[in-house]
Amino acid sequence: MTLDQYRSTAKRVADPFVSLFVRLGLTPNQVSVLAVVLAGAAGVAFALGGSNPLFYLLGAVFVFFNGALDVLDGELARELGTDSLAGDLLDHVLDRYADILLLVGLAAGSGRYALGLAAVTGVLMTSYLGTQAQAVGLDRVYGGLVGRADRLVIIGLGAAAAAFVTGTVAAGPLGQLGVVGGLLVFFAVVGHLTALQRFYYSYRELA
């Protein structure tokens, strides 16, 4: 399902915006910081969504721009010839904080903190296994059920839906779940499954 396989297509779409950023004098690190600021704004909007669902829609807009900037910072670095290991490290650290801010915001807005914890650990383990493969000598692993690009699309669409669907959409052992609760369950389950997929792939290559 992962959208990361379409990185070459995303690059073509990003080129005009990269040129604009070059003319504006923005650096890749500034774009990365702006991306995580937008993720924080989305998290705050999601937290407020519990009292006013329209905040979920605002948060979805912030998620869209966060995802766009997440593509543009790397492309800008390559265009300027300033891509480096330090910039790659910064980008990954800020992406993980962005993931945490988004999911914590969803958990706060829905009041489902246990689900939020499960979702956060699933997402962080997915990202960890992707980069740990590279640390042990393999290529960085982007595969699996859900990559970061997929997560941002799902969060954005799910949050937009939560702005208009405020009732229960599913019920089961976890009680009644709205759209946001369903999102957290999805990331809790699929996040850990994706991490295990990446672990299996990496371990098989090394064994």
Residue 170's DSSP bridge partners are 177
pLDDT in the model for residue 49: 94
Question: Beta-carbon neighbour count of residue 79 at 10 Å?
Answer: 17
Average pLDDT of adjacent 10-residue blocks, the chain of 207 residues? 57 76 89 95 96 95 93 86 84 93 96 94 90 80 78 94 79 74 93 90 85
The domains of the chain are located at: 3-206
Instruction: Report the distance separating Cα 90 and Cα 21, nearest Å.
Output: 19
pLDDT at 173: 66
Give the model's pLDDT for residue 150. 87
- Per-residue confidence (pLDDT) for residue 159, from 0 to 100: 95
What 3-state class would DSSP assign to 176?
Answer: strand
pLDDT at residue 44, as a whole number: 98
Residues designated catalytic: 95
* Residue 87 backbone dihedrals phi, psi, to 5 degrees: -65, -35
Specify the CATH number for 3-206; select among 3.20.20.140, 1.20.1630.10, 1.50.10.20, 1.20.120.1760.
1.20.120.1760
Confirm if 71 and 60 have CB atoms less than 8 A apart: no
Where helices occur in 111-147 by DSSP H, the ranges are: 113-135
Cα gap 6→11, rounded to integer Å: 9
